Every structure is written in C-alpha cells, then in structure tokens.
C-alpha cells in the first residue's frame, strides 16, 4: 500500500505541475486523467515538455534526458519514469 | 479545458496525429559566402553576414555536421550564398541528415547523387521584376533544370509590384510541373518601388487566397498563413522581436522566454560564427516578412490555437504546409 500511495502522490503532483505550467483551466489534479495522452489529447509540444521536465528535475532531483521525452506520453508514464529514476539513485 | 478530441472530428484528429509527433529540430547553415547572383534585397549580402572566412576543409565540415546531428538536429536547411557552388559540402550534409537546399536554380543538383533531397528555388516574381532585382530572369534557366522534379518547388517571393500579377507566374510553374510556395519581400536594401503599403498587403492576401483556390495542386500554402504573413498578426498578437521563434538559441536572452524553435541555430560558413536569426540581424523585426519565421511562429503556438475548432484547424493546415515543404508528409 505505501508504494501505491507514493505513486498516487507523484501522479497528483505531476498533474499539478502540468496544470500550473500550462495554465490549464477547468481541471484540478484530482480530475486530471493520468492516462490522457499529453500530445494527442492535451496538445502539448516539445517546448511544453521541456518546461515540464525542468520543473520535474528540480522537484525530484533527477535528470530527464531529452531523448526520453517520447516516453513521457501520459502523467502515469511520467510517474513511472520518475519512480525508475528515483529507484536507480537508491 | 479544451482537448484535441473536443475540438476536432475524427478526420481532423487523424490529420493532427500525422504531424503532432514529427518533432522537427531544424537549423540553418550558410554553406558558402559566394553566390552566382547579386540580388537587390538579399539580406545575406546587405547585412554583411557573408564577411567571414569560409571553412574550406571538407573534413571539418563533415565533423561539424556530425556534431550537429549529435546535438539533435534532424533537418538541415542549407542557404548561402548559393549552396550549389559547393557540391561537396552539400553531399556531406545529404549523407548525414535530411537536407533542404535553397538555391537560385541556375546550377542543377544531380539527382543521381541527391535523389530525394528537397530543393527550393528562389523566384522573385515575373521576368521584369527578376531582371530589376536579380539582374536576370532566373526562371528561364531554373525551370529547364528542374522541370517535373518531384522533390523541387519554387519559393516565390512576391514583391509589391507583383500584386495583381501573380497568376501568370503560377501558370508558368504549373506548365513546368513544379509546386510553389509564396512568401513576401522584406526589401532589406530599400529598393525604390518595393516597399509594402497596407492596402497592397490586403489585396495580396485576397489574391493569394484566390490562387490557392484555383491551383490547390500547385500551391503549397494555407489561407491562415496568408492572413498572418500579410497582417503580421496572429491571435491578436503582432509579429516582432518579442515573438519571433527563429532566433539562434544561444543568442536568445529574451525575458520572459519566448516560444521558439528548440535548438535552432544559424551557422555561418566559417562553422564558428552564429547569426542572430534565420534572416539578418540588420533587419527590423517589426517589418520582417520572412515566410519561414511567420510559419514557425504559428507552429510553436499550438496550444494557443486550442481555443476554437477553426483556430486548431488553421494551426493544422499551417503545420501540414510546413511538413509538405520538406516532404515530411506527401504533397
């Protein structure tokens, strides 16, 4: 259970960052669909991703390689990516 | 919160998907300082940007291109000077990267060596304007060199004197089986009679729209692009230094940061000097009419076009236009 709580916390936090950085209206971290395709549905582009990646790097003290951007397709994938990076640091 | 599927029906969404993941990282390279023409209004020579010591060692070019590729560049746009004066450098790029060659068309690029390299031939209007501005009617030569070539199009820079006279030029291009993209003269060298007046730009927009309706198989363009390039306005914002996306990354100190082309650089032919932007630093950005810069301006502002269905469709049409110009999607 603690792992799941941690995952949900990251998902919520990532959603919060995306909403804040993209100034999204009418959506909250709780109502943000973590499986929504960020490019295909939300319309973000590589500059948006770069901006979000910078914030995530600061928040989680990880390095996000630009080559990995295509992996960051949804909030859930971003969360899994962050968890992998954090695990690799341990 | 608008999403793509809330704005687009399935057909448009499919068109969006086709371009949304292209992730183009372009940069511009002055392949040489030399040219076989000296056109009035050419920013390259009027700005003095050609005054660098050209790198002559092909091995250094090859090493440079490899480094550019490693930097993430996936589309090399070659300008000059006249790139076809340096076929070895052209080949070095072509062997390593998707490459676009901007040429005046006087020298034919061998299709045996460069079978699918995109070629854009500059054209500055009808025969008379070409003679005034470029010293000769280049179309007579370039059209023979590239007739029917499936990887070539004309980049027709429309001048104020061409307003009302575009169609004969388009027809000549139709007759030689090529495509054409339209852009506007910026008159960098203040040539008399080639300044834009607003009324002319309004008329030109109407004329370009009409030509696109009449020659959709020949003209690679979009009406929204016509609107933005003739008005200098997009979604209530005015084009200028505060908005331009085509600024060399390391020279871009604008605050707050501007939506821009990621990793974009424009390199001089010494492979050391970098230029400010895709045109010249001497140009007044508020009157810049550069087609590529305006196109990119629209493209980097995708989410700003997610307000209405029409705005989003406009954005898609411009992105498709860009993708067609580089054959990233079929014509």
Average pLDDT along chain A: 92
Low-confidence ranges of chain B (pLDDT < 70): none
Domain definitions of chain B by residue range: 4-325
What was the pLDDT predicted at A77?
Answer: 97
Q: Which of A4-8, A67-71, B164-168, B308-312 has the lowest mean pLDDT?
A: A4-8
Cα dihedral sign for B83, B87, B89, B90?
positive
Residue A2 has pLDDT above 60, yes or no: no
Backbone angles phi and psi of B219, in degrees to 5: -90, 125
pLDDT one-digit tens code per residue, B276-315 = 999 888 888 998 999 999 999 999 999 999 999 999 999 9
Q: In the prediction, which pLDDT does A1 show? A: 46
Is B221 strand, coil or helix? Answer: coil
Residue B16: its chain A contacts at CB < 8 A?
Answer: 40
Determine how many CB atoms are found less than 10 A away from the CB of residue B48.
11
Instruction: Give the closest-approach CA distance of A90 to chain B in angstroms.
Output: 30
Tokens of A72: 């960051």
**B316/B11 Cα distance (integer angstroms):** 12
**How close, in Å, is residue A44 to chain B by CA atoms?**
7
CA-nearest of B66, B67, B73 to B92 is B66
Q: For residue B230, how far is the Cα from the chain centroid?
A: 15
pTM comes to 0.94
If pLDDT is split at 50, 70 and 90, which confidence band does A4 have?
Answer: low
The model's pLDDT over B166-208, given as tens digits with 9 standing for 90+, comes to 999 999 999 999 999 999 988 877 777 788 987 999 999 999 9
**Which range among A36-40, A84-88, B264-268 shows the weakest confidence by mean pLDDT?**
A84-88
Nearest CA in chain B to A50: B262
Interface list for A 13-52 with B (CB within 8 A): 22, 24-27, 36, 39-48, 50
Widest CA span in chain A: 38
Spatial contact of B287 and B296, defined as CB atoms under 8 Å apart: no
The predicted model gives A47-51 an average pLDDT of: 92
- SS3 call for B285: helix
Nearest to B284 by CA among B195, B224, B200: B195
* Residue A32 CA to its chain's centroid (Å): 12
> E-strand spans in chain A?
none
Structural domains of chain A, count? 1
CB hemisphere CA count around B169 (13 angstroms) = 31
What CATH number does the domain containing A8 carry? 1.10.1200.10
CA distance, residue B302 to nearest chain A CA (Å) = 7
Tell me the Ramachandran region of residue A10: left when phi exceeds 0, alpha when psi lies from -120 to 50, beta otherwise: alpha
Q: Does B303 touch chain A (CB under 8 A)?
A: yes
CATH 1.10.20 fits B4-325, yes or no: no
Q: Which residue among B4, B23, B72 sits closest to A40, beta carbon to beta carbon?
A: B4
Tokens representing B11 are 């057909």
| pLDDT for position B103 | 98
The parent domain of residue A6 ranges over 2-89
pLDDT above 70: residue A3: no
């Amino acid at each position: 259970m603690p792992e799941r709580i941690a995952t949900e916390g990251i998902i919520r936090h990532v959603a919060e960052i995306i909403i804040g950085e993209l100034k999204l209206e009418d959506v909250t971290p709780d109502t943000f669909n973590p499986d929504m395709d960020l490019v295909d549905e939300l319309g973000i582009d590589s500059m948006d991703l770069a901006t979000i990646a910078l914030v995530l790097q600061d928040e989680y003290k990880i390095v996000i390689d630009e080559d990995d951007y295509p992996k960051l397709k949804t909030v859930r994938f971003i969360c899994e990516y962050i968890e992998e990076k954090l695990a690799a640091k341990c | 919160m608008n999403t793509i599927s809330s704005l687009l029906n399935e057909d448009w969404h499919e068109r969006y998907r086709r371009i949304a993941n292209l992730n183009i990282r372009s940069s511009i390279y002055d392949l040489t300082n030399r040219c076989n023409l000296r056109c009035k209004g050419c920013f390259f020579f009027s700005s003095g940007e050609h005054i660098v010591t050209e790198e002559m060692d092909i091995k250094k070019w090859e090493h440079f291109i490899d480094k550019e590729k490693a930097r993430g560049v996936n589309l090399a746009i070659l300008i000059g000077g006249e790139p076809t004066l340096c076929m070895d450098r052209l080949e070095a790029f072509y062997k390593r990267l998707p490459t676009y060659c901007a040429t005046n068309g006087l020298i034919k690029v061998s299709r045996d060596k460069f079978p699918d390299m995109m070629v854009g031939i500059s054209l500055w209007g009808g025969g008379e304007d070409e003679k005034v501005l470029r010293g000769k009617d280049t179309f007579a030569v370039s059209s023979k060199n590239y007739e029917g070539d499936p990887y070539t199009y004309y980049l027709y820079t429309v001048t104020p004197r061409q307003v009302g006279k575009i169609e004969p030029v388009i027809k000549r291009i139709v007759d030689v089986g090529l495509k054409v993209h339209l852009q506007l003269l910026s008159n960098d060298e203040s040539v008399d009679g080639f300044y834009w007046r607003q009324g002319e730009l309004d008329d030109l927009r109407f004329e370009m729209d009409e030509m696109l309706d009449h020659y959709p198989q020949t003209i690679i363009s979009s009406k929204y692009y016509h609107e933005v390039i003739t008005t200098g306005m997009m979604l209530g914002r005015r084009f200028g230094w505060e908005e331009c996306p085509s600024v060399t990354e390391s020279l871009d100190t604008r605050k707050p940061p501007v939506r821009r082309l990621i990793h974009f650089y424009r390199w001089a032919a010494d492979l050391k000097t970098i230029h400010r932007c895709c045109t010249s630093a001497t140009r007044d950005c508020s009157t810049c009419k550069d087609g590529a810069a305006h196109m990119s301006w629209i493209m980097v502002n995708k989410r700003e076009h997610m307000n209405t269905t029409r705005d989003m469709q406009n954005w898609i049409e411009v992105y498709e236009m860009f993708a067609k110009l580089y054959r990233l999607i079929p014509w």
